[in-house]
Homo-oligomer: A and B are copies of this chain.
Amino acid sequence: MPLKNTGTEQLIKDTTKRLIFAEGKLHATTQEIADAAGVNRTSLHYYFRSRDLLIAAVFQEAMHGLSERLNQCMVSAKPFKQKVEFLIEVFLKDMMAFPYQETFMVTEINTLGKQLVGNIDSVPVKSFLSEVQQEMDSGNLKAMPPSQFLMNLFSLLSYPLIMAPLYKQLFQLSDGAFDELITARKTMIMDLIFNSKS
């Protein structure tokens, strides 16, 4: 552990996170990262040993943060509907700040594989899924396997953001107009999920 902590290690991680997850430089080289952080490329190796380990550290940190925030939503004391509403807000906010985080996850989903799911605490997810089941039993939600409900929710939230460049082109939208479209989805998704006839 560093006695003389100069903050370089965190600077490198933060810079990598910004480059890859916010600016979309998914294949940023060690040189590009070092330049952006204003340090010598060797420092990356000094602190993280290899490029792969740096990326892994950054990704783990990001996933852990997001996972923690989502878990707070899932286990909060709010009524179910408010809980989902809050979850949508938290998730959308994160995704708009780091638009390429999920894209990166998709590209690395095979290499990271099981390690990825290891970063997700399954307890809050399971508790959330059983709450979904309860809501279905009481007729507040259309009956379906709770896993499908969860996939629906995240599909509707994530996919348009992942495909943003495509949809902007297809619908001929400016960045601002597209952001409005995404923001409008919050209530739309709530509607779609909660107001379906059984």
A: which residues have CB within 8 A of B?
A: 24, 26, 103, 105-107, 109-110, 113-114, 116-117, 120, 122, 125, 142, 144-145, 147-148, 151-152, 154-156, 158-160, 162-163, 165-167, 169-171, 181, 184-185, 188, 191-192, 195-197
Contact = CB atoms under 8 A, between A and B. Distances in A.
Q: Secondary structure of the A side of the interface? A: helix
A51 B120 CA distance: 37
Contacts of A116: 166, 169
B159 A151 contact: yes
B24 A169 contact: no
B165 A113 contact: yes
B195 A192 contact: no
A24 B109 CA distance: 10
A148 B103 CA distance: 21
Contact of A181 (B148, B184, B196): B148
B155 A159 contact: yes
A191 B142 CA distance: 10
Given A114-B169, A155-B156, A197-B197, 17 more contacts: A26-B110, A103-B106, A109-B163, A109-B166, A117-B170, A144-B188, A147-B181, A148-B181, A148-B184, A152-B192, A154-B159, A154-B163, A155-B155, A155-B158, A191-B196, A192-B192, A196-B196
